[in-house]
Amino acid sequence: MLPRVLAFGTDPWDPTYRFETSWLIPPYALFALRALFSLYAFTTLLFNIGYQCAHAELGGCSQSRDGFSYFTVLTYWGLAFYLLFAAAHTFSYARYSTPLLNRWPRPLQALHALLYSSVTTYPFLVTIVYWGILYAYGSSWFPTPYGGWSNVSQHALNSFFALFEIVVPRTAPQPWVHVLWLIVLLALYLALAYVTRATKGFYTYSFLDPGKTGSLVAAYVFGIAAATIIIFGIVKGLIWTRRWVTEEKMGRRGKFAKTTTGSRTDVEEHELGGFASK
């Protein structure tokens, strides 16, 4: 079992360029949208750092530093970097007909696939937990325009970007082994949250504070882990459905670079790469 979980796979890596192509739009358009979304995400993150540093009433630069202890912020950085690298790979494919990703070492290709699984799973978890548990204004909206924009960007548009990556590209369903690694990453974040409490004196999320929730802390932790597994399964099903509808029923096998040569392997013959083949 352990060798399978840690394996990078031996099958040909993404022979039909699923990570860099779409069934709906041409490669240059996919590159442009990914680059635009990445630019927006990085702008949000960097503006938040600068704005907080400039406003002592928001906690100043100390609050900006503390932000790196929050799951929302960390996953948003992950989303921003995925979109950046996905845009670069898409551009290299559109320009040269062979994406940069296909020239990377297999471990980096596998990590890219795992990053894809994380950015199509965690954003929905963040959105659900924030608006369902953490939102503190009841039926009211945020008291400041900055608060509204910042939180909508990180707790709503994150799911829009994830949905885009599920629906528009030709990516294949993720391997089930990825969900194990997503749970491992959640466990590592839990450790970070309590390291933050020990070193900085605050809980990143109130439901992790035993003084407020008591024994329900364990219920929250296992509930979030279960929600991650469910979301991953739903996303995997959505990707399978998109592939079936667009490719099998609509006959839209993909929009490829005009300079691409050689045969394109049928989608059914290729399983998305990752830490293990199926």
> What pLDDT score does 268 carry?
41
**What is the per-residue pLDDT for 11?**
79
* 57 CB-contact burial (10 Å; exposed 0-12 / middle 13-18 / buried 19+): exposed
Q: Tens place of pLDDT for every residue, the chain, 278 residues?
A: 555 666 677 778 999 999 999 999 999 999 999 999 999 999 999 999 999 999 999 899 999 999 999 999 999 999 999 999 999 999 999 999 999 999 999 999 999 999 999 999 999 999 999 999 999 999 999 999 999 999 999 999 999 999 999 999 999 999 999 999 999 999 999 999 999 999 999 999 999 999 999 989 999 999 999 999 999 999 999 999 999 999 999 999 999 998 654 444 444 444 443 333 33
Non-local CB neighbours of 80 within 8 Å, separated by 6+ positions: 38, 41, 42, 45
What's the pLDDT score for residue 275?
A: 39
Q: Are 80 and 41 in contact (CB under 8 A)?
A: yes
Q: What is the pLDDT of residue 6?
A: 67
Is residue 151 within 8 Å of residue 76, measured between CB atoms?
Answer: no
d(CA 58, CA 50): 11
Pairwise CA distance, residues 59 & 116, whole Å: 33
pLDDT of residue 15: 94
Residue carrying structure tokens 């995925």: 82
Nearest to 182 by CA among 118, 112, 239: 118
Token pair belonging to 113:
């696939």
What pLDDT shows up at residue 269? Answer: 43
The whole-number pLDDT of residue 104 equals 96
Question: Three-state DSSP class for 104?
Answer: coil
Identify the pLDDT of residue 258: 81
Structure tokens at 232: 């991953």
